[in-house]
Amino acid sequence: MSLATHAVTTQSIVRTRRRQRANPEALPFAGAKARQCDTAGGAARRLRILITLAVALAPASLCDGAAAQEAEAQEGVSGGAIVGNVLETLHLRQTPPPAQDFVVRSRPAPDELQFQPMKPTEKPTGKKTPAQLDALGAELEGALERNRKAAARVAVPDSASRPATPRRAAAAKPPREQAN
């Protein structure tokens, strides 16, 4: 939202609230009526949710006593099993139908499957062993010595013996004095 849009929206909200304070009966759902509407809407919604839950759980509570005794007999039943039993009782969860003949024929037998679990592969790290570091250090030392020997063979001319070039001559002249 842009700043201008936000300012216009804020101004309209402020104007509406001022009108509500000045004359609460003039605007719809203002003052006490607004509170009644909000309370009634919230209560109605809560009541609908409660009725929906009661309807969903009623068949589970009305099931025959044998299912209740069976549930009491199973001491180590997990929460997931209880939810599954409720869903089956409400006919919301059903076991899948058996596979058709062409599907069974096209699949290999479970004994013939050669499942091999995936194993993690070791990724190479950039770490070097101490022996590799020593070899690298010796290689760098050798390169340093070769560079020093090559630098010793190069003769650097003396800067005083160089002939003056026009650029150097211009740089050597003192700057002109400016007349005031």
80-101 residue pLDDT tens: 888 888 888 888 877 889 999 9
124: pLDDT strictly greater than 80: yes
CA 178 to chain centre: 70
Same domain, 6 and 26: yes
Same domain, 3 and 22: yes
- Count: domains in the chain: 2
The reported pTM is 0.23
- 8 Å CB contact between 56 and 90: yes
- Please indicate, yes or no, if residue 57 is contained in any of the structural domains: yes
Average the pLDDT over each of 21-25, 32-36, 147-151 and give the range with the smallest value. Answer: 32-36
- Please indicate, yes or no, if residue 165 is contained in any of the structural domains: no
pLDDT for 169: 58
- Please indicate, yes or no, if residue 19 is contained in any of the structural domains: yes
- 8 Å CB contact between 89 and 67: yes
pLDDT for 38: 47
- 8 Å CB contact between 112 and 81: no
Domain boundaries, position 39: 33-64
Can you say whether residue 175 is alpha, beta or left, with left for phi > 0 and alpha for psi between -120 and 50 degrees? beta
- Please indicate, yes or no, if residue 162 is contained in any of the structural domains: no
pLDDT, averaged across the chain: 74
**All residues at 6 or more sequence positions from 1 whose CB lies less than 8 Å from its CB, including other chains:** 9
- Please indicate, yes or no, if residue 101 is contained in any of the structural domains: no
Candidates 44, 55, 138; CA nearest to 90 is 55
pLDDT for 106: 92
- Please indicate, yes or no, if residue 48 is contained in any of the structural domains: yes
**Calpha distance 29→41 (Å, rounded):** 13
